[in-house]
Structure 1
Amino acid sequence: MKALLSFFLILFFLSSFSQERYLEKNTKFSKRTYTYHRIKKEKNLKFEFYKPKKRTGKVPLLIYVHGGGFSGGDRKDKIATDFAEEMVQYGYAVASISYRLTMKNKGFGCKIKSALKIEAFNDVSQDISYAVKYFLRRKNKFKIDTDKIILVGSSAGAEAVLNLAYVYSNKILNPNFKFAGVIAMSGAVTSIDKITIETAIPTQLFHGVQDNLVPYNIDSHHYCKLKSVGYLNLFGSKAIAGKLKSINKPYYLYSVKNGNHSWNARPIYQCKKEIIDFLYYDVLNRKNRQIETTI
């Protein structure tokens, strides 16, 4: 009986220690800039790499993709920096990446052809893939757990990471590679047909129900009229969650009844606990939960 009690006490201690590694903050981290893909000197793609100092062994990696309508935004802006500096303190390495701003000086509204919008999604998905490939080839240098690479995106970045996870035909990464999870803030995809039992990964979705740019459920991008050249039907967070629910795969849908497109960044500041919870339980420990929260 004593031996059995000792076993459970040890098990409880190990469980508590494991949880502390990802839920208790450690304020010391390092930061460096790397070039992950060379195009031209003035257009080389880079990332800011944040890593916790007091961690041994391989660590999970969050790849953060900023927003900006595929025409603006910056890997070093306040939102990206705040997110990275917060998450690295919980034991995650973070890479905030730059990517080609293919729609710069063009816009991304209803006057932009839908084909160009899809091309922008794919171009950024390609760039993210190069960043992932860079890490995979240097996994020992960065001490990254390549089985725990998680995509995180805001607005255009959310569209890009969801596209990469569920739509994009990837010719850069090994066909057997699979992301450990994805977090999308105000994102959508052009199709949910490729979300299957085989392709589904733990997915956390934040979205304002009243988002006037990226539809919360199923509607056109920027709510463009059917006859406009920019009409592009998109499947937002609600639709993605619905598909994952139908195939019994993990998802975490956080809906804001009166929320608008500002929820592409607000979760970083207002939903830290939900993000940490999702990463710890659904990504790292694969609890296969289905959670829906509406505020």
Structure 2
Amino acid sequence: MRINSAIIYSYIYKYKLTIIFFMKSLKYSLLNILLLVTVYNCSNEKTDAEVIDTFDPSLYYEQLDVSYGDDPDQTFDLYLPANRSQNTKIMVLVHGGGWSAGDKNEMNAIRDLLRSDFPNLAVVNINYRLADDDNAPYPMQINDISSIIEHLKINKTKYTISDDLGFIGISAGAHLALLWSYAFDTNNQVSMVCSIVGPTNFTDPAYLNNVNPDLQELLDLYGSDVPIAFLEEVSPYHQVTDIAPPTILFYGGQDPLIPTTQGTALRDKLLNLGVTHEFTLYPEAGHGWIGLELLDTWTKLKAFINAYI
């Protein structure tokens, strides 16, 4: 597929915000429009000289490609704010890519926004093992998230962070973030979770009866002939309970890969369960959006983070 791009320049408060979207092949990524944001703010910029190799909590610290397993994909980037304490909370970023592609660098835009607007928040930008013909996404990728959370717990004194965390996921990464938060957070560590165009229900008739070969190729990563019980096991919609963390959802009404029902059905179930949530549907947007809709997303997500993490 030919790459298309659109660039829009805007201003948010005192920051100069450059927003770039570009199309990616549907075959390789559920997130066919990737958002890259560069924030310029002289008072917040950090040079290499300021990244000091120490865990002194009074100093800013970052470490790229921290290993949490034997596979080359089992790495994450760690950003620890200056003047942190045992109450410093963590935001975990989960990239998309149809469970079989993608990289944590694709979340650097959101990382930069978080570091600018939430300077007291620790950020963990993760990679996970990618699915292929020999390795199914489930439970492999959920296990990877569990390994990362366990690593953070074991090292929380060294890092000077708390156990409390939030998730922001995009597309397949949003599915993983929701599923882990709803079904695998046995210690109730998750304070909030954000899904941007994330699949939520593999038993949705719009999926079971779809005629989109690109979509079906991605869904087949979970098995081409699997029982409904398994599809429910890997669906956040079927795993959510009334103790789920506050959840914020963003979807596009013209998304060719994520039917609107993936968002509205989860919204309705959260409402019925009494789970704190917010839901935004951009009726004319697809698997990503630009301009005022994008600014609206960050404004709402920023307020949600302020409220719950």
TM band (smaller chain): 0.5 to 0.7
- Looking at structure 2, the residues matched to 215 and 152 of structure 1 have their Cα atoms a distance apart, in angstroms, of 20
Structure 2 unaligned segments of length 5 or more: list them: 1-40, 47-59, 202-234
- Looking at structure 2, the residues matched to 201 and 36 of structure 1 have their Cα atoms a distance apart, in angstroms, of 28
What letter corresponds to residue 191 of structure 2 in structure 1? A
- Name 1:140's counterpart in structure 2: 157
Please tell me whether the aligned partners of residues 248 and 277 of structure 2 are also in contact (alpha carbons under 8 angstroms). Answer: yes
- Looking at structure 2, the residues matched to 56 and 183 of structure 1 have their Cα atoms a distance apart, in angstroms, of 25
Matched, 1:197 2:228: no
CA spacing shift, 1:205–1:121, aligned 2, 3 Å: farther
Q: How does 1:1-295 map to 2 (within 5 A)?
A: 27=44, 30-40=61-71, 43-77=72-106, 80-89=107-116, 90=118, 91-103=120-132, 119-146=136-163, 148-167=164-183, 170=184, 175-190=186-201, 191=235, 192-198=237-243, 200-217=244-261, 236-263=262-289, 271-281=297-307, 283-284=308-309
Please tell me whether the aligned partners of residues 103 and 127 of structure 2 are also in contact (alpha carbons under 8 angstroms). Answer: yes
- Looking at structure 2, the residues matched to 73 and 249 of structure 1 have their Cα atoms a distance apart, in angstroms, of 31
What letter corresponds to residue 197 of structure 1 in structure 2? D
- Residue aligned with 2:162, SS: strand
Structure 1 segments of 4+ aligned residues over 4 angstroms from their partners: 54-57, 266-270
Structure 1 unaligned segments of length 5 or more: list them: 1-24, 107-115, 218-235, 285-295
- Looking at structure 1, the residues matched to 279 and 74 of structure 2 have their Cα atoms a distance apart, in angstroms, of 32
TM-score, with normalisation over the residues of structure 1? Answer: 0.66
Deviation of 1:209 (Å): 1.5
TM-score, with normalisation over the residues of structure 2? Answer: 0.63
- Residue aligned with 1:76, SS: helix
Please tell me whether the aligned partners of residues 121 and 160 of structure 1 are also in contact (alpha carbons under 8 angstroms). Answer: no
- Looking at structure 2, the residues matched to 60 and 82 of structure 1 have their Cα atoms a distance apart, in angstroms, of 20
What letter corresponds to residue 241 of structure 1 in structure 2? R
- Residue aligned with 2:238, SS: coil
- Looking at structure 2, the residues matched to 203 and 126 of structure 1 have their Cα atoms a distance apart, in angstroms, of 22
- Name 1:7's counterpart in structure 2: none
What letter corresponds to residue 202 of structure 1 in structure 2? P
Deviation of 1:54 (Å): 4.6
- Looking at structure 2, the residues matched to 166 and 177 of structure 1 have their Cα atoms a distance apart, in angstroms, of 9
Deviation of 1:57 (Å): 4.9
Deviation of 1:212 (Å): 0.8
Deviation of 1:97 (Å): 0.5
- Looking at structure 2, the residues matched to 121 and 154 of structure 1 have their Cα atoms a distance apart, in angstroms, of 17
Q: Tell me the number of residue pairs that the alignment of Structure 1 and Structure 2 aligns.
A: 217
- Looking at structure 2, the residues matched to 71 and 268 of structure 1 have their Cα atoms a distance apart, in angstroms, of 26
- Percentage of pairs with the same residue: 24
- Name 1:111's counterpart in structure 2: none
- Looking at structure 1, the residues matched to 122 and 62 of structure 2 have their Cα atoms a distance apart, in angstroms, of 10
Please tell me whether the aligned partners of residues 122 and 163 of structure 1 are also in contact (alpha carbons under 8 angstroms). Answer: no
- Name 1:11's counterpart in structure 2: none
